[in-house]
Amino acid sequence: YTDDVNRAVEVFKDNAKDLKGWNFYADNKGVKVYTKDITGRSTPMIRGDYTLSGGYTADDFLSVIKNMSLRKLWDDRYEDGEYIEFFDNDNTLSRFSVKGTFPISGRDFALRGTVTRDSETQKIYFVTTSITDPAIPEVKKFVRGYVNFTGWQIVSKFDTDGNTKALDIIYIVDTDIKLESVPYSILKSISTGTPIVLQKIDEMLERIGFPPYILKSSSLIVSETVDPKSFQYNLTLSSENSSITEIRYSKKMYPNGFDISII
C-alpha cells in the first residue's frame, strides 16, 4: 500500500501548505478551525491549526498521536484500535474505530500509515489513509468507514540555544461519511469538533507527559503498548546481534523512575 499512502501524503501536503480554499469556521480554545467544501460530498474537509508550547519536541508530540493505548485520554470519539503490522518503525498497518455520534453509527477503519520527514523544511508528517486488507476484516459492531486521509504536520520553533520552544501543528481530516439522509448542517457540526483534540493533547501533556517511545533503533517493532492506568510500557522488538535501542520517556509520567524487565 506504499503508493496509496504516498498519494495521501502529497494530497495532505497540498492542503496544508497554505489557507487557499479554506474557510475560517471558529477559534475554539486556541484551535483555529477551518472547513473546505468538496463538490458532491456530504461532509467538508476539516482543518485545525494550533501552537503547542511547553518545550515538547516534535517526536514527543508524534509519540502521542501514534500511540493508540493512550488515545482515549485525548480523543472522546475514539473506541479502540491496534497496530496489525509494523513494516518498519515509520510505516504501519492498523485498525481504528470511533464511537457513534447520533445520528451517525460507530465506524471502524483499516489504515495504512506513514511518518515522513522533510530534511529541507524540517517538517514532520504523519498521514494515514484507508485501504482494504484481509488482515482487517469488517466486524458487525461497526460500519466500515473510509478516510481519504488524516494528516498531521509538525513544525518546530526553536529558541536561540536550539531548544524547542513550541510546535506549530496542522491537523486535517478528509473523510466522506456518506449519509445523504442526515442534514448537511448536522454532519458539519459533528465534523468541525474533530480538531479540538489538539487542545486535549496539550492538556494531557501538561498533566501526565508523553508516552515512552523509540528515539533510535536498528530493530523492528513487533508490538508497543502503554497501560493507560499504570503506564506500564511493553515493547517487543525483532533484533539482530549488537542491536541498540534508545527510548525516550517523560519524567511527568515516571516521576519516581521505573523498573525494567527484559525477557
Neighbours of 181 (CB within 10 A): 6
- Spatial neighbors of 33 by CB under 8 A, at least 6 apart, are 24, 25, 26, 27, 46, 47, 48, 192, 195, 196
Amino acid 137: pLDDT: 94
Asked if residue 120 lies in contact with residue 136, where contact means CB atoms within 8 angstroms, the answer is no
d(CA 131, CA 254): 37
> Which range (12-26, 37-51, 143-157, 175-189) has the least confidence?
175-189
At residue 210, what is the residue type?
Answer: F
> Which range (68-82, 108-122, 188-202) has the least confidence?
188-202
Spell out the domains of the chain, with CATH numbers in brackets. Answer: 2-208 (3.30.530.20)
- The pLDDT tens digits for 151-200 are 999 999 999 998 999 999 999 999 876 555 555 666 666 677 789 999 99
Give the predicted TM-score (pTM) of the model. 0.92
- The pLDDT tens digits for 213-248 are 998 888 888 999 999 999 999 999 888 777 788 999
Closest of 65, 2, 68 to residue 228, by C-alpha: 68
How are the residues of the chain apportioned to helix, strand and coil, as percentages rounded to the nearest 5?
A: 20, 40, 40
Residue that wins the pLDDT comparison between 91 and 176: 91
Amino acid 220: pLDDT: 86
Residues in the chain: 263
Query: Any bridge partners for residue 236, and if so which?
Result: 223
Give the pLDDT mean for 85-109.
88
The SS3 of residue 9 is helix
**CA quadruple 240, 246, 252, 256: dihedral sign:** positive
